[in-house]
Amino acid sequence: MTDRPTDQYYIEKICEVSGTCYYEDNMRLVLEKVIEELFYSQHQEVICNLRPYHISRAVFKFREAKGKTYVRNTKQYFKACILSAIKEMELDNLEPVVYEGED
């Protein structure tokens, strides 16, 4: 037997770091399931960066979209909101590029 961490260990760590425990049971369960599905998808590297502010932003964007239009596949759309929140926040944190000769 090895002491190598399992996928479930990593999923639990992502849930812990992202603050899913602060949500009500029904929302927490949805978040944990979505995190697990994204972990096993091609987005494993991205989902490992999930933090509480990403979830807040994703929930806000999801509710905003549902208020404006009918969302057919809510779970898939919520996954997209989470991935988008992570990627957008990464872009927001990039330093602006300054070219030589610009002041």
CA nearest neighbour of 61 among 77, 50, 48, 45: 77
Contacts of 66 (CB under 8 A, 6+ apart): 74
pLDDT in tens, 27-52: 999 999 999 999 999 999 999 999 99
pTM for the structure as a whole: 0.79
| Whole-number pLDDT of residue 5 | 78
Q: pLDDT band at 98, cuts 50/70/90?
A: low
Q: pLDDT band at 71, cuts 50/70/90?
A: confident
